[in-house]
């Protein structure tokens, strides 16, 4: 199972972050992907599963954005169907929520144990198939156009690309956050919300890339450039529809810094016709 996915030097690349069980947002993304032609790749940077399923419309908190209900089981099927329909062009990277199904720390955003909750919904056979699938997810995707995609901020100390391939996924079920953060590679790779200029520079140099593209954190306005080598963006979770963005890149281009990504050209609205809700 390669943990590093390398994309080709031509074609198009669509990138999205954190769907967390939002099937409608995946379907919208898929329509953009289908319109991008036969040379397009789609990379989803992790946290495919785990969304809100008991929050009612009357008690919907503003910080969760446009209301939706967790459809993780149907989303898993829809992504697998897309992978079968577009072989080797639809890619899922590992996120901390996905990792909780294959040995990572328990996540408890919407339930005390979200992995146990989803696995109960899936039933034993589908759970086994889901775990086998998640175990194949790469940690990082790189493209010759100068970008590296990962779940969280590029803070991992990566000694070598070979070392990346031998990172053990299992055995962290009982880790608290402080301890898991100290786990080499995985701790930062799946949970870091920020990376200093120095640290991200080392991480990206090890990966042979100039700019990190990632989510994990919620950027309410769609995207943020905190360091010139980091573009953090939100496609789905925690946003209102009008602010959700995905990336659309030419794989034969060359990106030097995060400022090379232009709104409307490389950073696109998931729902171009959505308008901001009126506020009080
Ligand atoms: Mn995450």
190-246 confidence digits (pLDDT tens): 999 999 999 999 999 999 999 999 999 999 999 999 999 999 999 999 999 999 999
* Residue 122, domain CATH: 3.60.21.10
Give 52 Cα–ligand 1 centroid separation in angstroms: 15
Q: What is the pLDDT confidence band of residue 159, given thresholds at 50, 70 and 90?
A: confident
Residue 250 has pLDDT above 90, yes or no: yes
Handedness of CA 231, 137, 105, 201 (dihedral sign): negative
- What's the mean per-residue pLDDT of the chain? 96
SS3 assignment, position 243: helix
Does residue 280 fall inside a structural domain? no
Give 97 Cα–ligand 1 centroid separation in angstroms: 6
Give 33 Cα–ligand 1 centroid separation in angstroms: 23
Owner of token pair 């089981």: 73
Give 65 Cα–ligand 1 centroid separation in angstroms: 17
pLDDT of residue 160: 87
Q: What is the pLDDT confidence band of residue 54, given thresholds at 50, 70 and 90?
A: confident
Does residue 276 fall inside a structural domain? no
Buried b (16+ CB within 10 A) or exposed e, 173-201: eebeeeebbebebbbbbbbbeebeeebbb
- Give me the mean pLDDT over the 273-280 stretch: 82
- Domain limits for position 81: 4-269
Least confident of 60-69, 89-98, 229-238: 60-69
Give 19 Cα–ligand 1 centroid separation in angstroms: 10
pLDDT of residue 191: 97
Spatial neighbors of 149 by CB under 8 A, at least 6 apart, are 15, 43, 45, 93, 140, 141, 142, 143, 212, 213, 214
- Give the separation between CA 174 and CA 221, rounded to whole angstroms: 35
pLDDT of residue 6: 98
Give 46 Cα–ligand 1 centroid separation in angstroms: 7
Give 45 Cα–ligand 1 centroid separation in angstroms: 9
> For the residues of 80-133, what is the DSSP string, one character each?
HHHHHHSTTTEEE---HHHHTTTTSPPP-SSSTTHHHHHHHHH-HHHHHHHHHH
- Give the separation between CA 20 and CA 213, rounded to whole angstroms: 18
Give 48 Cα–ligand 1 centroid separation in angstroms: 9
Are 114 and 108 in contact, with CB atoms under 8 Å apart? yes
pLDDT of residue 280: 57
Percent of the chain at pLDDT exceeding 90: 91
Are 138 and 215 in contact, with CB atoms under 8 Å apart? no
Give 18 Cα–ligand 1 centroid separation in angstroms: 7
Which of 17, 133, 29, 38 is CA-nearest to residue 77?
Answer: 133
Which of 187, 133, 125 is CA-nearest to residue 156?
Answer: 187
Give 100 Cα–ligand 1 centroid separation in angstroms: 11
Does residue 253 fall inside a structural domain? yes
Ligand 1 is an ion; residues with CB less than 5 A from it: 47, 95-96, 216
Residue 156 has pLDDT above 90, yes or no: yes
Give 111 Cα–ligand 1 centroid separation in angstroms: 15
Does residue 244 fall inside a structural domain? yes
pLDDT of residue 253: 98
Are 99 and 185 in contact, with CB atoms under 8 Å apart? no
Does residue 277 fall inside a structural domain? no
Give 107 Cα–ligand 1 centroid separation in angstroms: 10
Does residue 274 fall inside a structural domain? no
3-40 confidence digits (pLDDT tens): 999 999 999 999 999 999 999 999 999 999 999 999 99
Does residue 257 fall inside a structural domain? yes
SS3 assignment, position 272: coil
Does residue 226 fall inside a structural domain? yes
Give 152 Cα–ligand 1 centroid separation in angstroms: 7
113-142 confidence digits (pLDDT tens): 999 999 999 999 999 999 999 999 999 999
Q: What is the pLDDT confidence band of residue 41, given thresholds at 50, 70 and 90?
A: very high
Give 280 Cα–ligand 1 centroid separation in angstroms: 31
For the chain, what is the domain count? 1
Phi–psi pair at 268, nearest 5 degrees: -120, 150
- Give the separation between CA 244 and CA 220, rounded to whole angstroms: 8
Give 218 Cα–ligand 1 centroid separation in angstroms: 9
Give 193 Cα–ligand 1 centroid separation in angstroms: 9
């Amino acid at each position: 199972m390669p943990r590093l996915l390398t994309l080709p030097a031509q074609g198009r690349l669509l990138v999205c972050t954190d769907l967390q069980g939002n099937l409608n947002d995946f379907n919208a993304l898929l329509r953009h992907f289908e319109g991008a032609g036969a040379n397009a790749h789609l990379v989803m940077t992790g946290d495919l599963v785990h969304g809100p399923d008991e929050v009612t419309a009357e008690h919907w908190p503003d910080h969760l954005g446009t209301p939706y209900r967790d459809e993780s089981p149907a989303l898993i099927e829809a992504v697998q169907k897309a992978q079968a329909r577009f072989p080797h062009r639809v890619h899922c990277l590992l996120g901390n929520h996905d990792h909780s199904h294959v040995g990572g720390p328990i996540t408890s955003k919407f339930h005390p144990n979200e992995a146990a909750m989803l696995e109960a919904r899936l039933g034993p056979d589908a759970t086994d198939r889901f775990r086998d699938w998640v175990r194949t997810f790469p940690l990082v995707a790189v493209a010759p156009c100068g970008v590296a995609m990962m779940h969280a901020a590029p803070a991992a100390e990566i000694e070598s690309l070979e070392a990346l391939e031998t990172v053990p996924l299992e055995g962290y079920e009982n880790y608290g956050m402080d301890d898991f953060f100290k786990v080499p590679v995985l701790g930062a790779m799946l949970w870091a919300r920020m990376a200093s200029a120095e640290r991200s520079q080392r991480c990206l140099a090890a990966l042979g890339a100039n700019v990190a593209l990632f989510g994990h954190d919620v950027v309410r306005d769609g995207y943020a450039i905190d360091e010139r080598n980091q573009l953090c963006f939100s496609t789905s979770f925690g946003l209102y529809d009008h602010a959700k963005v995905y990336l659309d890149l030419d794989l034969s281009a060359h990106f030097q810094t995060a400022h090379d990504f232009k709104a409307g050209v490389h950073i696109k609205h998931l729902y171009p016709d959505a308008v901001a809700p009126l506020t009080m």
